[in-house]
Chains A and B, each alone.
Chain A
Amino acid sequence: MRFRSPAPGIELSRRRFLRGTGVALALPFMASWPGRAAAAIGGAAPRRSAFLYFPNGAAMKDWVPEATGSDFALPYSLEPLAAVRDQVLVISGLDKPNSRQGDGHYAKTANFLTGMPVAKTTGAELSSGGVSVDQLIARSLAGQTPLPSLELSTEPIVSGVDSNVGFTRIYGGHISWESASRPLTRELDPRMVWERLFGGSVSLDARGRQLRGNLLDHVLADARDVRRKLSRDDRPKFDEFLDSVRAVEQRLDHAAQEDRPPPDPAALGVTPPAGIPREPRDHVALMLDMLVLAFRTDSTRVASFMFANDVSGRNFSFLDGVKGGHHEMSHHEGKPEKLEQYRRITRWHVEQFAGLVARLAAIPEGDGTLLDSTMLLCGSSMSDGNSHSPDNLPILVAGGGGGTLIGGRHLAFEGDRPLCDLHLALARRMGLAIDSFGDSTAPLPDLGPDEA
């Protein structure tokens, strides 16, 4: 009974990110940065999407509601959603068929947002199967915001290769892929995210932009020279440099053409974070604050967040009733005391997600809130951590999606229903005119009124 208090997480996380994590977002929440977002699409709020991943699966018995439709009871792990349940879709029965081969973790995480087979390699001919859905969306929105997308996490990439299974650990730390062989580097330090939102090219004056632009022109010319002298098999990798120079230049151009003043942190009532907090829970809260801030300032409309890398052994002893690491507990072997700790860890992740939903819902935008225009996906790349199954994945979808998502329901799908059907449905809601994505069969039905 002592765990049944309704949605304690929301209060908790609000209080937490007010005390000493560096950012103090003053209450009450102020509206999204005027101008940028609303002006973008003739006054209507632009749609945003974020993809959240947590590692090591979930205890499914405590995740999947028994009833479907809108009249269902929240199981233990989902209880923190109580306060926002009208905004959340619980979706069960989605599979990732292309992860049924390969190893227990790497072949499942790298393709969380691609759905396609992950190449078994320690580096050569690396492949996540294809571009990830967030990056496909970002590509379609190119140029509309200062940043094409934002990739966030709290754990540095794990060094080394797993020679026992023959995979590089790079795979366990990336869900966002610009192409099958090119993962997007994630930002770990909230201060550096802040710099991307408010500093750097955004804060340069005309002279600074000119100096920076000249420098980049020069470097680009150098890069073209170098490329000519490289052999054929060196070039694809080297092109990352050329593409990065162009991306930074575009950012500079965007800042130069911006006719509105850059977002002003003081007017938004926010102050810069000091750096990476010592406690993982504060770190997670702060990164989610940054995600909210990025959407709020319309700095980007696409984001991904990894709570941690796959196989993360993060010590969760800070949670009441948990004594040990995440991966250790996910291998619960069916033992009640380990299962109990495992489900508490899962529930904590849901609690953080519920906090994010609540925060977005508290920010007015136009006639509604920031959450109304947003669609959030949150889930893991396997179901039960002890069996490492890539089927019946734990998946939540939240937000209004600009009037295209109707929450407060549990949708249970039967048979082979690939996760990519959901990715496809979300991508179409973000304005992509596509009929398939990854191993999709059709856009996932019943999410809300607007299927196109």
Chain B
Amino acid sequence: MQRGRILVGVLLVAAGPMAAAADEDAAEIARWQETFAAKVRPLFEAKCLACHAGPESEGDFDLAAVMAAEQPAEQGMAWDRVAARVRLNEMPPPGSPGLSDPEKGLLHRWLDGRPGRNLCEQLASDETKSWYRGQVMSRRLTHAEYEGMIAAIVGVDLDPARNLPPDGAGGEGFDTTGDTLFLSPIHLERYLAAADEVVETVLTDEMPPADAPERAGWERWVGVGFEPTAANVRDRLASFATAAWRRRVTDEELDRLAALAEATAALPEARPLDGLRQACKAVLVSPNFLYLVETVQAGGVEPLAPRQLATRLAVFLWASLPDDELLRLADEGRLTDDDVLREQVRRMLRDPRSRSLAEAFGLQWLELGGFAQRVAADRSLFPEVDDPLVSDFREETIRVVHRVFATDASLLELIAADETPLNARLAVHYGLSEPEQVGADGWGVVPLADGRRGGVLTTAAVLATTSYPRRTSPVLRGQWVLGQLLGGRVPPPPPGVPPLPEPHEGEESQTLRQRLEAHRSNPSCATCHDRMDPLGFGLENYDPLGRWRTTDAGQPIDASGTLPSGASFAGPEELKARLLDRRDEFIRHVSRKLLGFALGRQLDEFDQCVVKRTAERLAAADYRSGLLVEEIVLSHPFRHRYHKMED
């Protein structure tokens, strides 16, 4: 009975705001549906359904199914997609009956007038499951988080994840997605070996020399004059487990750890600290450490417990443990305060640990995860490519992204910037002057005279990973720009594509453009290639390693392009300007990606509300990167969890 009451209570809370919103919106929705039935539906039927109906729909987009929904107003993500493609003049495609200007006007007004519902303060749950597939779950740590946390505990980076099999990704494209973070026996064996190595290296019986990297960790967890009595070991274990598990340890848990330590210490020929070490290993292989455990209280939608919120924050921005300040604020109950949270976000972004955000989020957003594998360059054709250069490519992109977030710069600087981080080797690679001041790691910042460099698009990392082993690919590059910067989708080519006309020896570069243009004269190819190929041609001034070039195979480079919207450009600087014209698409996409990374799941309709709201606020605040992170951290989905009820 007790559980039944709680269930009813939660349902009421969940239904309350929804019911009110429904009342307010009812009239507006009715009007909107009327317009739909009277004017829009016939338009779609006449102009769209020939290709977009049924399971074989073009682009895998079944508009008929969207229209057939009981509540068309709730098909928001689908309508957003329609609106974007129509606005860019990409739909209907060339060769099919187009829309007249009055028809376009009608459609835009109707799409823009879709009644808003406040979805931002809701989480998907069983009641709204039809919208919802992904969920946040108590997932295991990613390798980056595992390394970051171990390093925070023992004060030294021993690269403990080096033997773990690489993580895949899911949801919005990130390894933080619970659904696709697997744990198999191989993982457990490696976690055991890593815990062995870390603990045996740092918690030694003998004090490490003063200059040893493990000295600080040893002082923290062993220390001069430490007597391994049962009481002392228990004490030490309490702090070790509290740090590693991001929460207080119960007496019962501590009893068990202490018992494990004692049993080990009692073995014949045990070294003095064997007991402590064995229990510390158990702490690091425990799911309390390896998993982001978010426990259920009553069930349903619940605010996260303060320390769990602190952990989400630290994992999101640092891939590490919450530090003392976060834990203190959590314990004082102050992390529920919006201003406190904003202040913490700003502090954490300024902290050097926020580099992990650029590394984990930045690389995966830009499709550069598993970077070395993605650089396909044929080293027999490009002997100048070696491992150090490839890791410089990667490092540069991390620094470009990190610079924007650490300095609260405008997100638009990810597209075009007037300075960029470099080291000497990359400066030579790009033909730029070396940075005047460099840090101990050899990296500095150089001012840029023109827009050939600056931002992520013109980094060697991006340009090289969107090339084939022996040549550039305007198609791959265009697809990358469309997908990773503007959030556009391109369905795979239909089967049975007719071959491109043959190139002739020595004409490769010139004819590639011509051949692709011929390809696009086929309407079924043009729909997608008109959107992406021109973007890629705008980058033809960069060779497969991202170096500037003005000719290819003896032919001058033509880096001009025109998009279906009519927007045209010549060369990468103008291309960047056109991308900045489409900043709304870019900002929405980056916001969506960062939210997906932070939540570790596929986004749903409710999250789209957060994305939209965030984009609007960014537009009003010079696109400050810090505000993007603040908005995500303060959002309802970041601060809440949905827990499925028991049957």
Contact = CB atoms under 8 A, between A and B. Distances in A.
B492 A165 contact: yes
A356 B163 CA distance: 27
A184 B184 contact: yes
B133 interface: yes
B114 interface: no
A155 B373 contact: yes
A230 B278 CA distance: 27
B171 A123 contact: yes
A240 B282 contact: no
A15 interface: no
Contacts of A234: 137-138, 294, 296, 643
B497 A244 contact: no
B540 interface: no
B170 A122 contact: yes
Interface stretch (B175-183, B413-421, B442-450, B632-640): B175-183
A5 interface: no
What is the interface residue range for chain B against chain A? 35 or more
A2 interface: no
Contacts of B499: 333-335
Contact of A123 (B180, B186, B373): B180
Contact of A161 (B139, B172, B500): B172
A185 B186 contact: yes
Interface stretch (A51-59, A215-223, A426-434): A215-223
Given A157-B166, A214-B278, A317-B378, A165 B491 contact: yes
B364 A160 contact: yes
- Grouping DSSP codes into helix (H, G, I), strand (E, B) and loop, the B interface class, with mixed when no group exceeds half, is loop
B564 interface: no
Interface in B162-209: 163, 165-173, 175, 177-180, 182-189, 192-193
Given A219-B282, A325-B468, A335 B502 contact: yes
Nearest to A224: B287
A163 B174 CA distance: 12
Contacts of B127: none
B299 A231 contact: yes
A178 to B, nearest CB: 8
Interface string B141-179: 000000000000000000000010111111111010111
18 contacts: A104-B495, A123-B179, A124-B602, A126-B179, A156-B165, A157-B370, A159-B370, A160-B364, A178-B184, A215-B260, A222-B282, A226-B287, A234-B137, A234-B296, A234-B643, A244-B187, A247-B185, A323-B469
Interface of B: 60, 133-135, 137-140, 163, 165-173, 175, 177-180, 182-189, 192-193, 253, 256-257, 260, 263-264, 267, 278, 281-282, 285-288, 290-291, 293-296, 299, 364, 367, 369-370, 373, 376, 378, 380-381, 468-470, 483, 489-492, 495-500, 502, 601-602, 643-647
Given A214-B278, A231-B643, 19 more contacts: A104-B492, A122-B170, A123-B170, A158-B373, A160-B169, A160-B369, A166-B60, A182-B182, A186-B165, A211-B267, A214-B260, A218-B256, A218-B257, A223-B286, A226-B287, A231-B296, A231-B645, A241-B290, A317-B469
Interface of A: 103-104, 121-126, 155-161, 163-166, 168-170, 173, 178, 182-189, 192, 196, 200, 207, 210-212, 214-215, 218-219, 221-223, 225-226, 229-234, 237-238, 240-241, 244-245, 247-248, 251, 313, 315, 317, 323-325, 328, 333-335, 387-389
